[in-house]
Amino acid sequence: MLAISFSCLLTLVLFLPGEPQSAAAQETRSLLVEGTRLLEANQAEAARIKFETALKLDPASAEAYYLLGVAHEQKRDLSSAIAAYRNALQYAPKMAEAHDRLGFALGQQGKIEEALREFRLAAEHKPGFFDAHYHLGATLWWVKNFDEALPALRKAVTLQPGHAEARYYLALTLKQKGNLNASLEHLRELVKLNPSFALGHTQLGVVLQELGETDEAIRNLRKAHELDPALTDAANSLGLALIQKGAGEEAAQIFRSLIENHPENMVARHNLGSALLQNDFQAAEVELRKATALDPALPEAHFTLGVVLWQTGRPEEALESFKAAIAPKQDYAEARYMMGVILKQQKKLDEAVVEFRQAVELQPDYAEAYLSLSQALREKNDTAGAEAALAEAQRINKKKADTQAAKFALGVGQEKLKKKDLAGAAAKFREAVRLAPELAQAHLQLARVLQTLGRRQEARKHFAEAYRLAPYLEQAQNGK
């Protein structure tokens, strides 16, 4: 999180309200200024003495207690820091800086709810205080409260647009909320602000990969890996992107290097097994068995091992691996589907149908499972059931194709918009809405163009639909 701003501390001390009326008051202020400068020079113990001396002169000085807390915090004495901040707030209940640092210290002690309360009070008492909004948003992100994190982080970025870490957490929150395009915008901006921010390049690569921009994703993941070779997320993500690109050998080299430095990294071993699947089943099996031995509860390793066993003609062992994948992850639709495939091949149709039905119940848009269910039901002479499952598979596949076409139309529309071709852009956005009525971005882009064209009533209709489909878009529009 954020380092303490010493310029802010000096400002707090130098511009205390009211004029000093006595020599003691002047000496108190002088001690606070001297102590703050010692803090800036990382001389926390000498600063502590200055602040305690000031408190002897003025035992009710909220500023002295606050700065004493900062000195204790710099010495990593959190308990004393917390006590000092609480004393400061006894004399100045609305001191936002004290609420913020108290929240920070409480958070480091794992007292998250208390920390959040203090951050909220800091933001309430001083709405333009960046630290409070940033700490509040980042902490809410850590506890996975993305709905409340979003407005706090938006406010932080508004207050300090050049703060890369605030943009980082905002981008992560937007990604969690499903707004990949907005997340991408902030990630691009933050790597411009801080080109050496490895985590930023990593997340930029991950989002680009999710958006299908594999080449650019690989470039950013390579950059992250170069900046911080010890960053395991960057290495794993780069390897997975290379697998998708068909560069299995290079991916395997990255995973082997990662395992050499982190032998306990079972995710890297699983990913190495996945990379080796492209040309060496035997080596893949070895790595996947190591991964399952390191962490028997890692469902993905059991699943991929099951695929290897199935593809190398060992269906019974494969079934056991898929069962092991499902044990820690009961909603693992793909493992259920693979069990159904093997059982169907073994002509155990009743059992296969059970697995296929569970797969589509867990993942209602699983077209392959519906298709296999249809085939199994047909073999059981259940023609009506087979036709119904086939129709659902076809419906899902058509919807996926329409969504892809809609996204393409959306992209073309955005290019036309850049060229100021409003009519052409509107036509493409209408096509996107027709193909995929549930695509919020299509409604939003169409609404914006219609508004520019003066068709306000129709624009309002599409704004409303966009916000209904994706409420976070309305928050972004309103700057919340």
Helix pair 6-14, 23-40: axis angle to 10 deg: 170
In the three-class reduction of DSSP (H, G, I as helix; E, B as strand; rest coil), residue 258 is classed as: helix
Q: Residue 476: what pLDDT?
A: 55
Angle made by CA atoms 107, 110, 114, in degrees to the nearest 5: 55
Q: Residue 123: what pLDDT?
A: 97
Q: Residue 393: what pLDDT?
A: 96
pLDDT in tens, the chain (480 residues): 444 554 455 556 544 555 555 788 889 999 999 999 999 999 999 999 999 999 999 999 999 999 999 999 999 999 999 999 999 999 999 999 999 999 999 999 999 999 999 999 999 999 999 999 999 999 999 999 999 999 999 999 999 999 999 999 999 999 998 888 889 999 999 999 999 999 999 999 999 998 888 999 999 999 999 999 989 999 999 999 998 888 888 998 999 898 888 888 888 888 888 888 877 889 889 989 988 998 899 899 999 999 999 999 999 999 999 999 999 999 999 999 999 999 999 999 999 999 999 999 999 999 999 999 999 999 999 999 999 999 999 999 999 999 889 989 998 998 999 899 999 999 999 999 999 999 998 999 999 999 999 999 999 999 999 999 888 776 555 544
* C-alpha Rg value of the chain to the nearest Å: 29
For residues 237 and 225, what is the distance between their CA atoms, to the nearest angstrom?
10
Whether this prediction's pTM lies above 0.75 is answered by no
For the chain, what are the domain ranges? 407-477
Q: Residue 19: what pLDDT?
A: 52
- Residues ≥6 apart with Cβ < 8 Å to 434: none
Question: How many CB atoms are closer than 10 A to CB 135?
Answer: 26
The fold for domain 407-477 equals 1.25.40
Buried b (16+ CB within 10 A) or exposed e, 345-368: eeeebebbbbbbbbbbebbeebbb
Q: What is the DSSP string of 111-172?
A: -HHHHHHHHHHHHHH-TT-HHHHHHHHHHHHHTT-HHHHHHHHHHHHHH-TT-HHHHHHHHH
Q: Phi, psi (5° rounding) for residue 162? A: -90, 10
Q: Which two tokens stand for residue 194?
A: 């801080």
